[in-house]
Amino acid sequence: MEKVYRLDGLDCANCAAKIERSVQQIKGVENAQVDFMSTKLTIQAPEKEIARVCEEAKEVVNKLEPDVEVNSVQTEKVEESSKGKIIQICMAILALGVLVIVKPTMPWEFIAYLILYLWIGYDVLKTAITNIFHGEIFDENFLMAVATIGAIAIGEYPEAVAVMLFYQVGEFFQDYAVAKSRKSISSLLAIRPDSANLIQNGEVRKVAPETIRVGDQILVKPGEKVPLDGIVIEGRSMLDTSALTGESVPRSINAGEQILSGFINQSGQLTVEVTTTFGESTVSKILDLVENASSKKAPAENFITSFARYYTPIVVGLAVLLAIVPPLVMGEPFYGWVYRALTFLVISCPCALVISVPLSFFGGIGGASKAGILIKGSNYIETLANVETLVFDKTGTLTKGVFEVQEVETTIDQKDFLRYVASAEQSSSHPIAQSIVKYVDQPLSPVSKLEEIAGFGISVEIEGHHFLVGNEKLLAKYDIPFQAVNEIGTIVYVAMDGKYVGHLLIADELKDNVTEALSEVKSFGVKRTVMLTGDNRMIADAIGKKVGIDQVYSELLPEDKVNHLEAELSDEQKTAFVGDGMNDAPVLARADIGIAMGGLGSDAAIEAADVVIMDDQPAKIPVAIQIARKTMGIVKQNIVFAIGVKVIVLLLGALGFATMYAAVFADVGVTVIAVLNAMRCLRVK
């Protein structure tokens, strides 16, 4: 059983890691995870144990972080204003400036600096002491407390106060940057509908979307969000689909067309028949994907968490040795070496890494969501960035999956020709027949003596004329001379009263910008593209050649697709599969990374995929790869920058060249810069 809580007031990534480790150690916990970016604590435990485990988890959080409130995910908490913090910092800076200028004599100097130090650093000292009693020693509060108290002990009063003050300023900007990033992500989730207009007995009632059932009718007024998926049964309008698809241009919708929750109705009033419950609607699935995406950690995140866990105690040990060993060995005064050790301690805090790396991944997921691409976890970003082989399904992925009349050739009046053919096909449920009927916009004629000839076509009488409608084998069977058409698609041949009178070309149309998208992914370093399809070889080969696919496999069953995909998989190269249908679900799950077309794709495909493209356009695939690579680039920049600066300043501190001000920059300054860099991931371009 799973329980999810929100940790209000959690603003420290290192603290989040401590809470996660401690909750995982509670007896009966199967799994526990703290997502710093969404401030969620997820606990999994047996149903009989879950109540006890959750209570113990709340106690653990209260012990480790007394200022953090554990609330249910439904509880809303209003954020406190930061004005008080700004006023405190400004007054402290002013007071410090006055003390530096006035230079009071002892003991007033010590008393004045001590009062100012306790006022500005009270929360840090309190947290450090509380954590020590709970067995959590090596965090940034402990390091800052020891360093500044040590500075006071050796008589560096102004420096102790200034370091604590700069630390608080840095923490304020760090919290502001993280909150701004969280707010950017939260804005993506504003598509959640608050209510729905239910039509019952001719009246319209405003109700919660969760209460509406499949088959109910709802009214969507201009300016409202569409609360549930459905079919428009009355009305026409323009829709803002940008929240789901990333497409800024509004699209029109008419009666009979599908409408998805999360769209915004811009103009006309629509009556919609609901086809899914709220829990299964598109908007609910998107909210769930975005809110939980950062819980699936990338290898880089796991590395940083482990690194920080061992790095800090090691540096603290080195600081102790630095304070004691050189003076004892070289017979020098302890003052200078203790100062170096205190500087060493301030530098060692791993906050820049612990915050900026998951924040970068979270920003990448948010930026992708803005573009209509849902990435289900940061681990998939890392895989997507390294894709070198792209495998595609054809129908519904590269093509629209809708058969349409592409060409009409006839020796008789075209209007009559189309009416005859559509009349002959009107009783058939075959997609080819339906595409012809849909194409002909005129009244159809009654038919008689209809005979289906399996594998060939149909024989029928219309308005006193005998028609044969079918493939070339049908005309050959009746010895009717004709010229075979060599075009890509399905050719429907027509004979009237024993004479060939024309043909129709029915084909599945390519999606927009497919060729350009494949060319672009190759420019990004994708080495190989493959198409797997159940369609016939001639059509598959022609489409593959037209769009620039390297290798085409056709006439495949679903299990054949899995076998061919496994042949493409290798330890050296990451392989992505792009598909949309139910039969693609096994292949999507088997690939290193599965990419599903989410607008009209099957639920099974969307569920099995790791990345979902909401507008079904292959042109978004290079965008997804570009976002993943940009995100990984920023992650690597932050890791190199944070570790690099810390190592340099640690060495300078050990050698006596770095002051505590440089140490504060190496800690808080580097963190703020890394967080601001991570926020670039939110921008798609």
Point out the residues that are catalytic.
393
Rounded distance between C-alpha atoms, residue 507 and residue 437, angstroms: 15
One-character DSSP codes across 579-613 = E-SGGGHHHHHHSSEEEEETTTS-HHHHHH-SEEE
Rounded distance between C-alpha atoms, residue 423 and residue 437, angstroms: 8
Rounded distance between C-alpha atoms, residue 419 and residue 70, angstroms: 69
Residue with tokens 């159940």: 534
- The gap from C-alpha 371 to its chain's centroid, in whole angstroms, comes to 10
DSSP-derived letter for residue 383 is H
Contacts 24+ apart (CB under 8 A), 151-156: 151/339, 151/342, 151/660, 152/113, 152/114, 152/117, 154/335, 154/338, 154/339, 156/339, 156/660
Rounded distance between C-alpha atoms, residue 620 and residue 132, angstroms: 50
Which residues, other chains included, contact 70 with Cβ-Cβ below 8 Å and sequence gap of 6+? Answer: 5, 6, 7, 8, 41, 57, 58, 61, 62
Cα-flanking dihedrals φ and ψ of residue 104, to 5°? -65, 155
Cβ burial of 513 (10 Å; 0-12, 13-18, 19+) is: middle
Rounded distance between C-alpha atoms, residue 683 and residue 370, angstroms: 9
Determine the angle formed by the axes of helices 299-330 and 13-24, rounding to 10 degrees: 100
Rounded distance between C-alpha atoms, residue 206 and residue 279, angstroms: 18
Which residues, other chains included, contact 516 with Cβ-Cβ below 8 Å and sequence gap of 6+? Answer: 619
469 vs 182, 417, 486, 676, CA distance in Å? 61, 11, 18, 67
681 vs 246, 383, 523, 634, CA distance in Å? 16, 17, 21, 8
Cα-flanking dihedrals φ and ψ of residue 629, to 5°? -70, -40
Residue with tokens 């990984």: 632
Beta carbons of 242 and 250 less than 8 angstroms apart: no
293 vs 285, 369, 371, 384, 518, CA distance in Å? 12, 11, 16, 15, 27
Q: For strands 457-462 and 465-470, give the pairing.
A: antiparallel
DSSP-derived letter for residue 278 is G
Which residues, other chains included, contact 129 with Cβ-Cβ below 8 Å and sequence gap of 6+? Answer: 145
